[in-house]
Amino acid sequence: MPIYDYRCTRCAHEFELLVLRNSPVPACPSCDSQDLEQLLSGFAVSSEGTRQASLDKFRRSYKASGQRRDEQAAAVEYEKKEREEHGG
């Protein structure tokens, strides 16, 4: 159902309105003004974007930390030790 949040710019009254295709121009139920500001429910979108941005930042810092290279070096070190112990 297309329910929109509106705020009246005259009396600052906020209300929800069901908007249909054949609905008349919405008016403030408090002061009957038609100077309405449609409030976008953009909070979910913006917080999602923020989370994505911080995730990207986390990935970049993880990559920059060089942990992967350390792991590889550790694996090489382990193999060398194995060879020394058993190859002898």
**Minimum separation from the CB atom of position 11 to Zn ion (A):** 3
Binding site for Zn ion (CB under 5 A): 8, 10-11, 13, 28, 30-31, 33
Question: 36, 32, 39: which is closest to 4 by C-alpha?
Answer: 39
Instruction: Answer positive or negative: Cα dihedral of 6, 11, 12, 13.
Output: negative
Nearest distance in Å: CB 42, Zn ion: 23
Least distance (Å) from Zn ion to the CB of residue 29? 8
Q: Please say which residue, 11 or 73, places its beta carbon nearer to Zn ion.
A: 11
Q: Can you tell me the distance from the alpha carbon of 29 to that of 22, in angstroms, rounded to the nearest whole number?
A: 19
